Structure 1
Amino acid sequence: MTSSSVQLYVYDLSNGMARQLSRQLTGRQIDGIWHTSVVSFGKEVFYGQGINITAPGRSHHGAPLQIIDIGETALDEATFDEYLEEMRAHYTADKYHLLDFNCNSFTDDCVGFLTGGSIPSFIKDLPTDFFSTPFGAALRPTIDAMYRRPVANAPVSPPVNAGVNPELASSILQAVAANAQTNGSPQPASQATNSLTAPMHIITNPASFNNFLKSHKAAVAFFTSETCPPCKMIEPVFERIAEEKGLQNGRSGAGFAKVDIDVGMGRTLASEWGIRATPTFMFFLDGKKLEELKGADRNELQTQVDLLLFQAYPPHPHTSIPMPAVQAVSTNSIIFSQVPPIESVVSKLSSSIDGESNWPASSPHTRAQVKGVLTDTVLPYLRSRFPAANPPKVLPSATPAILSAWAQVSFTVVSNLPVDSLFPLVDMWRLAFLDPAVGSWTASLTPTSPASDPVAIFLPNAIAAQDTPSKGARNYILTVLRLLCNAFSSPPLARRLLQGDARETVTAVLVPSLLHTDAVVRTASASLAFDIAAVLQRERVECVRTGKGIQPDSEGDLGDWQVEVVTAIMEALDREKENEEVVHRLTASLAFFLRLSPHYESQVRPLLEVLQSRTVLKDKLVKGAGWNSEGGIGKKDVRKLVEEVANKLCA
C-alpha cells in the first residue's frame, strides 16, 4: 500500500484586515483569522456549510497563503472517504461556531485521523490569544449571539468596550463570519441548534484526544453513543456545564470533549480508556486521569467538574481571610483633573518656543507650524472639552486627526526645548487623557512609533530629569506622573503600559520618584503606584468572582517586575516621615499588589520578610519610630488599613 501526503492549506478569513487592524483593536499583532483545509488523495476537504470537497486550491478561498506539510498517511482513500461520510452527521452547518467549533476543529480532527498529529499551535491558539485581549473578551457575547439561539430573558444590548468602534467591529465580524462559513455562495451565519450550544471539542480518534488532553490543564471527556437514551438525557446538561465552566478568555476553565464511540475511531479510543458503557465521563488534570463517572447523574457530574476546577485553579489563600479595610479601598484610578487657564498654558509654551535660540532648520516642523497646531487645533479642542462655564452634557472627544497632528508637533517640541520649558505641554496632554478617546487612540499605536505616542514622547526626559535638581525638572516630573495617572484610567492603555518595554519605562519613572525630595512629587508618584496596582487588582478580583482562579502563568512575566515595585514601595514607606497621604496611597498600593498576587508565596512573601515589611508599617502607627506626628498616623481609616496590611499580608 502506498502512502499519501497530507498537507494543510492555510487562508486568512479577514483578507488582510487582521494584520492591518489587530494592533489598533486588540493591542497585539494578529496576522490572520486562520481558515484551514486538509489536502490528501488529490482533494481539498474543509468545513463550513458542512463538509466540502474540492480540487486542491480550487475552493472559493482561492490560493492558500501557506501550505504546511503535515506528513504522510498510511490509510487508503476509501478509509478516509468512509471517515468523512461518518463526520458529515457531526460537522453540520448549524453546529458551526466561528471560534469554538470551526474549520480548524475539523482539520485538526482529520489530521489526527490521517497521521496521528495535529495542526500547528499558532492556528489552534488563535482564539486563546484573541480572548486574552479586552477587545476579544468584550466581543465574545456578540460572536456567540451570531451562532446560538437567543437565551430567554438574556440582555440583548451589545457589549461595551472602551475605545472600540462598534461599526468597525461589527463589519469585521460579519465579513469574517460570511467568509468562514460560505461554500462558495454568500450565506448568512447559521443559528446553532440545541445539538451544540457549548464550546466543545468533537473527537473521533486517539490522536485528537491526546492532543486535546495536552492542550488543556483541566479536561472533561464525555463518551457517548447515538443509540444511548441516557446519553441523550444528560447531553444538554453536559453542554450547559461546558458553557459555564469552559475556557474563560482563553486562560482558565476546563476543556470539554464529546466522543461518539460509533464514529470514526471512537471505539478504538473507547477501548484504550476502558470504556464499557455509555454515558461515561472522565476527568483529567494535566493530562492525567483523576476520576471517572458512569451513568447520567447530573448532580454528580456538576460536582466532579467543580472539584476538577478547584484542583486546577485553587482559590487564592487570601480570599478566606477577612480584610475589611483593604476591601473598602476603591479600585478606581486616582486622576488629576484640575484645569488650569488653558490659554495661559498655550501662551507660556508658545513663548518658550519663540525664545528658544537653537531651533534647527532640519526640524520636522518650524516654530510657526508648531504654534499653528497648538493654537488652531489643540486649543479649540481643550476649550470645548474643558469649558470655563456651562459644560455640555456630552463632551466632545478628540479625533485621530487632532491627536496625530498634536503628537507629531509634541515630538518636535520635546526634541528642541529644554526640560524646564516642557511641563506646559505635558500638562495639556494630562488634560487630554481625561478624554477616553485619547487613551484608546494611544493604546492603538504601534510600539515602533514612539514619535507619535504622547506617553512615549515624554518618559525618557522624565527619567533623565530625576538627577536634575532644578525647579523646572521637578515640575516636569510631577506633570508626567500626573499624566501617567490619567493614562492608567484608560483600560486599553493601562494594559499596554504594563507590557514589555513600556512597562520598563514607566517603572523607571515611578521608582526613583517614590523617593523624591519634594512631597508633592511623592504624592503623585504614590498615586501612580496605586493606579498600577489597581489595574492588577481589578483583574484579579474578577478572576475570583467568576471562579477562574489566579495562577502565576495568568500574569505572564509580571512576577519579577512586581517584586521590583513592591521593593520600591517598601523603601518609600520606610523613608516617608511627614506626608500621611503618601503613606495612605503607598499602603493601599501594597495591599493591591499583595492580596491576590499569584506570586505571593513563591516570590513576594520571602521578600516581605527580608524587607521587614511588618515592622516598617507598624512604625507608622507609633510616635517617633517611623512618623513625626505625636501619635503616629492620625486618620482612623488609614490606621486601620496600615494595621490590616501589616498583620494579615506582611505577617
Structure 2
Amino acid sequence: MSSKVQLYVYDLSNGLAKQLSMPLTGKQIDGVWHTSVVVFGKEIFYGQGICITPPGQSHHGRPLQIVDMGETAIDEETFQEYLTEMRQHYTAEKYHLLDFNCNSFTNDCIGFLTGESIPAWIKDLPSDFLSTPFGAALRPTIDAMFRRPAPGVAPAPASLQPSPEAASAAAAASPNPALASSLLQAVANQAFSPSPSTPTPAPSAPTPSQATATVASPIHICTNPSSLQSLLHTHRVVVVFFTSKICGPCRMIEPAFEDLAHEKTHRHADKIAFVKVDLGVGLGSQLARQFGVRVTPTFLFFLDGQKQSEIKGVNAPELRSQTDLLLYQAFPPHPHTRLSLPAVESLSLSPILFTQVPPLDTMLSKFISFLDAAPSTPDVQSAKQTITSVVLPYLKSRFPAKDANSVAKKVNASSVLLNSWADATRKIVDILPPAQLFPLADMWRLAFHDDAVGTWCAGLSPTNPRSIDPIMLFLSKATEILESPDADAKASARNYLLTVLRMLANTFASPALAKRLLAPGSRAGTREPLTRVLVGALLHGDAAVRTAAASVAFNVAACLQKGRVDQVRGVNVGAGVEEDGEWEVELVSAMLEALANETQSEEVVHRLTAAVAFMLRLSPVYDAQLAPLLEVLQARDTLKSKLERGGCGEQGVQKKDVRKLVEEVAEKLCP
C-alpha cells in the first residue's frame, strides 16, 4: 500500500529576505527556506539531529507552502530503519548552514522515498546567494559559525559573531552590513532554536536550517541511488567521491576534493555537482555496487549523465586534471577570449557620470516659480514644503557651495527623507508639464551620487503599491515626449529629456540599482521603459541629448560586460545582469542605427562604439543572434564609414584612440 509524501516549506526570514535581498545582495531572494518531510503522519526534519513532530507542530508553526512529492511504496518500518542509519550521519555537530543542512536531509529522504528531489528553487538558492559579492564575503563568517569540532572533542556552541576580517569583507560587499549581519544572525539562531515540543525519537531539539544555503552547496551528500540519479539528471557535470569512515586514504584526499568543489562551483553553480557517497551510510554500498566501485577512494566523472572516466586512490593532481578536462568539455571558453582586443580591453568599465553641481539656490528658485504658477492645491503646497525644507538642506549638505561661509549641517539620505521626496515628486509630476520638471530631475541626478539613495531605490518593490519609484515617474514622462507627434512639445521639453538621461546615467553609480533597472520587466518593471527612452533619445535631433543617451547606452553595456568578464575570471559569478538575447539584439540595432546617423559628434561615436563593443564581446548569444544581425545591418561598413570623410565631421573621426577602437570593433567583432 502506498503512502503520500509531502514537503513542508518554511521561510526562516519571515518575509525579510524578499524585502531586503535586492539592496543587500543585488539578487531577488524570495525566502530563506527550511524544509521537512511529511510521511506516515509525521513531520521529519534536521537541525540539532533528526527530529520528528506531528505535522505542522514544529516551532515554525504552519508551513508557508506544501508541495506534493507523490507517493512511496516503502513501508514505515523500512523508513524507520533508514532514519536510524541517517541519525549516525545527520548529527547536530555536523550541521552547516551552507553545506549540510535541513534541505540536504530532506533531499535525501525524498530521494529514498520517491526517487525524486526537492524543487530547484529551494536546492539552488545557496549557489545564488554565494554568487553575489555579499554572499562570497560572508562565506568565511558562516564557516566560522559552524566549524566542526575536532574528533573526540565535545561540540561547543557555535559563535554567531563574525570575525573582524569577515565583518570588514561583508561591509565592503553589502550596502548595509549592519542590517545584513543582524538578519544572518537571526536566521542562524532560528535554525537552532529548540522546538517547544520535541516528540518522539531522536536527539532532542529542533529543526531547520536556512536557505540562504541549501542542498546546492558545493558538496552534495548522497545516501541512495535516487538522489544521485536526480543530480545526474539536473547537472551537466558531476564528480562523485566514494568514501568510507574507516578509509585512511579517503581522509587524505578529502581536503583536496572539498577545495576543488568550492573553487569550481563558483562558476556554473547550478550545472556542476560535487557528490560524496559514504559506503557505510544509507544505501551507499548499493550505490557502489551499481557503478562497480570496489575500493575507496574512487572518483567517477559524469558529463550529461554519462560516465566519462574514473580514478582510484589518492592522486590530487589527477583529480584536478580530470575535473578541469570535464569542465572544458562541458563549458568551452567563449571564442572572444582568444581574440586580441587591446583597444576594447583598455576601456574602463566604470559608468559615465554627470557630476556638475548647479547653483542650488538658483535652481530651487526657478523650480519654485513653476510651482507658484501652478494652481494652488494642498498637494502643491505640501510638495513645495518638502522640496524647500527637506530636499534642499540634504543637497546643500551633500554638495556645499565652494564660497559658502559655513559648513552645512550633514543631512543623511534616510528612508524617511527619500520616501517623502518620492511622494512630493509624484505630486509634482502630476501637476507640472515636462518642460518645467527638469530642475526636479536634476535634483535626483545629484542625489544618485549618494550610495544611500541608490541602495534605497534598488530596494523599492514594484509589487508594493506604496512604493513610489521616482525613476519610473520620470521615464513615463520622457516616453510621452519621445512618442508625441507634437514637434513643438518635443522642442520645449528638450531640457527635461536631457536631464532625465543624465539622471539615468548617474543611477549606474550603484551596482545594485543598475542591476534592478536592467532586470526583466516581469521582475522589476523598469528595463522596458528605460530601453524605450534610450532607443528614442539616441536618434534625437539635439547633439547634447544624443551625447547623454550615448552615455546611458555605454553604462548599460558596461554593466553587462562587467558581469561577463567576472564570469570568465570566475569571480562574483552570477552577480551580473541577466542575459536576454532579444533585448540585446534590440539595443545593438538601436546603437548601430544611431552610429549610422551620427555625422556630427565624435564623442557620441566614441561612446556608442564602446557600447557596441561591450554588447558584442563575450556575449552568450553572439553566434546565434548577434552575428547574423551584424551581417544584415552591415555593421562593419557602418563603423568604417565613421573614419572616412564626412562620416563624422568633415574629415571623419580624428582622435587616434577612437579610430583604433572603431577599427578594432569593425574588424574583429563584426563578421
Question: Do they fold alike, i.e. is TM over 0.5?
Answer: yes
Q: Is the 8 A contact 1:283 1:291 kept in 2?
A: yes
Counterparts of 2:448 and 2:233, CA distance in 1: 44
Deviation at 1:373, TM superposition (A): 0.7
Q: Which residue of 1 aligns with 2:74?
A: 75
What CA deviation, in whole Å up to 9, does each residue of 1:525-547 have, x standing for no partner?
A: 11110000110111111111117
Q: Residues 607 and 163 from structure 1, CA distance in 2 versus in 1: closer, same or farther, beyond 3 angstroms?
A: same
Q: Is the 8 A contact 2:130 2:136 kept in 1?
A: yes
Q: Aligned AA for 2:104?
A: S
Q: Which residue of 1 aligns with 2:88?
A: 89
Counterparts of 2:92 and 2:286, CA distance in 1: 27
Deviation at 1:137, TM superposition (A): 5.0
Q: Is the 8 A contact 2:394 2:410 kept in 1?
A: no
Query: Which of 425, 431, 440 is the aligned partner of 1:425?
Result: 440
Q: Residues 40 and 502 from structure 1, CA distance in 2 versus in 1: closer, same or farther, beyond 3 angstroms?
A: same
Q: Is the 8 A contact 1:414 1:422 kept in 2?
A: yes
Deviation at 1:25, TM superposition (A): 4.0
Query: Which of 530, 535, 550 is the aligned partner of 2:559?
Result: 535
Q: Is the 8 A contact 1:141 1:159 kept in 2?
A: no
Q: Secondary structure at the match of 1:452?
A: coil
Q: Is the 8 A contact 2:235 2:272 kept in 1?
A: yes
Counterparts of 1:55 and 1:86, CA distance in 2: 21
Deviation at 1:396, TM superposition (A): 5.0
Q: Is the 8 A contact 1:178 1:187 kept in 2?
A: no
Counterparts of 2:20 and 2:50, CA distance in 1: 31
Q: Is the 8 A contact 1:162 1:440 kept in 2?
A: no
Q: Aligned AA for 2:178?
A: E
Counterparts of 2:317 and 2:21, CA distance in 1: 42
Check if 1:174 corresponds to 2:195. Answer: no
Stretch moving more, 478-487 or 233-242 = 233-242
Q: Residues 549 and 146 from structure 1, CA distance in 2 versus in 1: closer, same or farther, beyond 3 angstroms?
A: closer
Q: Residues 425 and 92 from structure 1, CA distance in 2 versus in 1: closer, same or farther, beyond 3 angstroms?
A: same
Q: Secondary structure at the match of 1:158?
A: helix
Q: Secondary structure at the match of 2:251?
A: helix
Query: Which of 406, 409, 413 is the aligned partner of 2:421?
Result: 406
Deviation at 1:565, TM superposition (A): 0.6
What CA deviation, in whole Å up to 9, does each residue of 1:213-270 have, x standing for no partner?
A: 222222111112223332222112111111211244x746621110112221112222
Counterparts of 2:136 and 2:462, CA distance in 1: 22
Q: Which residue of 2 aligns with 1:157?
A: 168
Counterparts of 1:293 and 1:325, CA distance in 2: 45
When normalised by structure 1's length, the TM-score is: 0.90
Counterparts of 1:143 and 1:608, CA distance in 2: 47
Q: Which residue of 1 aligns with 2:402?
A: 389
Q: Which residue of 2 aligns with 1:278?
A: 296
Q: Aligned AA for 1:456?
A: M
Counterparts of 2:31 and 2:333, CA distance in 1: 36
The 5 Å alignment of 1:582-593 reads: 582-593=604-615
Q: Which residue of 1 aligns with 2:361?
A: 343
Deviation at 1:517, TM superposition (A): 1.0
Deviation at 1:74, TM superposition (A): 2.6
Q: Which residue of 1 aligns with 2:103?
A: 104
Deviation at 1:567, TM superposition (A): 0.8
Counterparts of 2:586 and 2:536, CA distance in 1: 12
Q: Which residue of 2 aligns with 1:459?
A: 475
The 5 Å alignment of 1:1-400 reads: 2-22=1-21, 25-26=24-25, 30-131=29-130, 136-148=135-147, 157-160=168-171, 164-184=175-195, 199-248=218-267, 251=269, 254-357=272-375, 365-389=378-402, 396-400=411-415
Stretch moving more, 528-537 or 71-80 = 71-80
Query: Which of 510, 517, 523 is the aligned partner of 1:490?
Result: 510
Q: Aligned AA for 1:604?
A: L
Stretch moving more, 199-208 or 155-164 = 155-164
Q: Is the 8 A contact 1:252 1:548 kept in 2?
A: no
Q: Secondary structure at the match of 1:44?
A: strand
Counterparts of 1:423 and 1:503, CA distance in 2: 22
Q: Which residue of 2 aligns with 1:596?
A: 618
Q: Which residue of 2 aligns with 1:628?
A: 649
Counterparts of 1:189 and 1:63, CA distance in 2: 14
Q: Which residue of 1 aligns with 2:531?
A: 507
Stretch moving more, 369-378 or 119-128 = 119-128
Counterparts of 1:456 and 1:564, CA distance in 2: 21
Q: Secondary structure at the match of 2:347?
A: coil
Q: Is the 8 A contact 2:563 2:576 kept in 1?
A: no
Q: Is the 8 A contact 2:422 2:468 kept in 1?
A: yes
Q: Which residue of 1 aligns with 2:152?
A: none
What CA deviation, in whole Å up to 9, does each residue of 1:552-598 have, x standing for no partner?
A: x9965511111111111111111111111111111111111111111
Structure 2: any 5+ residue segments left out of the alignment? 149-158, 197-204, 210-214
Q: Aligned AA for 1:522?
A: R
Q: Secondary structure at the match of 1:455?
A: helix
Counterparts of 1:27 and 1:159, CA distance in 2: 14
Q: Residues 326 and 20 from structure 1, CA distance in 2 versus in 1: closer, same or farther, beyond 3 angstroms?
A: closer
Check if 1:474 corresponds to 2:490. Answer: no
Indicate the RMSD between aligned Cα atoms, in angstroms: 3.0
Q: Aligned AA for 1:487?
A: T
Q: Residues 128 and 241 from structure 1, CA distance in 2 versus in 1: closer, same or farther, beyond 3 angstroms?
A: closer
Q: Secondary structure at the match of 1:8?
A: strand
Q: Secondary structure at the match of 1:257?
A: strand
Counterparts of 1:545 and 1:183, CA distance in 2: 43
Q: Residues 49 and 162 from structure 1, CA distance in 2 versus in 1: closer, same or farther, beyond 3 angstroms?
A: closer
Deviation at 1:154, TM superposition (A): 7.7
Q: Which residue of 2 aligns with 1:193?
A: none
Deviation at 1:123, TM superposition (A): 2.4
Q: Aligned AA for 1:437?
A: A
Q: Is the 8 A contact 1:411 1:451 kept in 2?
A: no
What CA deviation, in whole Å up to 9, does each residue of 1:118-141 have, x standing for no partner?
A: 223332233344446665455444
Counterparts of 1:160 and 1:152, CA distance in 2: 12
Q: Is the 8 A contact 2:234 2:271 kept in 1?
A: no
Check if 1:607 corresponds to 2:622. Answer: no
Q: Residues 480 and 590 from structure 1, CA distance in 2 versus in 1: closer, same or farther, beyond 3 angstroms?
A: same
Relative contact order, higher structure (CA 8 A, sep 6+): 2
Deviation at 1:480, TM superposition (A): 0.5
Q: Is the 8 A contact 1:439 1:492 kept in 2?
A: yes
Query: Which of 426, 435, 447 is the aligned partner of 2:462?
Result: 447
Q: Residues 301 and 251 from structure 1, CA distance in 2 versus in 1: closer, same or farther, beyond 3 angstroms?
A: closer
Stretch moving more, 156-165 or 397-406 = 156-165
Moved over 6 A (4+): 149-156, 185-190, 390-395, 547-550
Q: Secondary structure at the match of 2:170?
A: coil
Counterparts of 2:174 and 2:556, CA distance in 1: 20
Q: Is the 8 A contact 1:623 1:629 kept in 2?
A: yes
Q: Is the 8 A contact 1:511 1:565 kept in 2?
A: yes
Stretch moving more, 419-428 or 230-239 = 230-239
What is the number of equivalent residue pairs in this alignment? 634
